[in-house]
Amino acid sequence: MELGAEFVHGRPPGLCSILKAAGLPLFEASEQRWRKEGASFKAFPEFWETIEKVDGQIPAGPEISYVQFLDHAQASPSEKSIARAFVEGFNAAQAERISAQAVALADRAAEEIEGEKAFRVTAGYGALVDWLRAGQPENELRFETAVERIAWNGEGVEVRCRTPGGIRNHAAECVVITVPLGVLKSRQIEFAPELPKDKLEALMHLEMGAVQRFVLEFDDVLLSSRNMPEGFVMADGLDVPVWWRTTPAPRNLLVGWTGGPLALKLGELSGEQRRECVVESLSKMLDVRIEDLRRHLIEVHHHDWMADPWSRGAYSYPGIAGIEAARMLAQPIEGRLYFAGEATDFSGHSGTVHGALESGLRVAREINSP
Q: How does pLDDT run across 322-340, given as a tens digit for each residue?
A: 999 999 999 999 999 999 9
Evaluate whether 297 touches 218 at the Cβ level (below 8 Å). Answer: yes
Per-residue model confidence (pLDDT) at position 3? 87
Whether the CA torsion 163, 169, 172, 174 is positive or negative: it is positive
Q: State yes or no: pLDDT of 273 exceeds 80.
A: yes
Q: Is 90 exceeded by the pLDDT of residue 49?
A: yes
- Mean pLDDT value of segment 310-320: 96
Mean per-residue pLDDT for 243-255?
86
pLDDT tens digits for range 116-164: 999 999 999 999 999 999 988 878 888 999 999 999 999 999 999 999 9
Contact 288, 249 (CB under 8 A): no
Cβ–Cβ contacts within 10 Å for residue 304, how many?
14
Query: What does the pLDDT read at residue 370?
Result: 67
C-alpha–C-alpha distance, residues 242 and 35, integer Å: 9
- Give the residue from 298, 316, 250 showing the smallest Cα distance to 94: 316
Would the pLDDT of 300 be above 80? yes
Nearest-angstrom CA–CA distance, 176 and 336:
8
Which tens digit of pLDDT belongs to each residue from 184-233? 999 999 999 999 999 999 999 999 999 999 999 998 766 655 678 889 99
pLDDT of amino acid 34: 95
What pLDDT shows up at residue 226? 67
Mean pLDDT of 91-108: 97
Distance CA 116, CA 48 (A): 8
- Percent of the chain having pLDDT more than 90? 86
pLDDT, mean over the chain: 94
Annotate 34-46 with b (16+ C-beta within 10 A) or e (fewer): bbbeeeebeebee
Q: Return the minimum-mean-pLDDT range out of 60-74, 198-212, 244-258, 345-359.
A: 244-258
Q: Are 341 and 356 in contact (CB under 8 A)?
A: yes
pLDDT digits (tens, 9 = 90+) for 4-33: 999 999 999 999 999 999 999 999 999 899
